[in-house]
Amino acid sequence: MLEFTAFLWGSMARYLQKISLRPYSETEIWTGWELEGRDGQIEGLILAEAMSEDDLAKLGVSEFQKIPKEYLDTGEFLPRKLQS
């Protein structure tokens, strides 16, 4: 059943991003993204798949905002290029 579900929904991974609130505040916050149709490393984001709930809580992340694949197909979230 899990394989069938993965086939229907495709890949999806969770990522973290540090966001600055400047110029309104000197504060930086962490936010969680669940990106449909993506997996692996993405430049500017931290792959959170292997992080524990405790590790996420230490960063203040308690939930992940799901971003549907159709919003990501604009090319704004590109996989990190491997350096040779």
- Report pLDDT digits (tens) over 25-41: 999 999 999 999 888 89
pLDDT more than 90, % of the chain: 55
Residue 81 lies in a domain: no
Residue 36 lies in a domain: yes
Q: Which domain holds residue 55?
A: 2-72
Residue in 66, 79, 64 with CA at minimum distance from that of residue 30: 64
Whether the predicted pLDDT of 60 surpasses 90: yes
Report how many domains make up the chain.
1
Q: How many Cβ atoms are within 10 Å of 12's Cβ, its own excluded?
A: 17
pLDDT of residue 78: 58
pLDDT category of residue 3 using cuts at 50, 70 and 90: very low
Residue 84 lies in a domain: no
Residue 78 lies in a domain: no
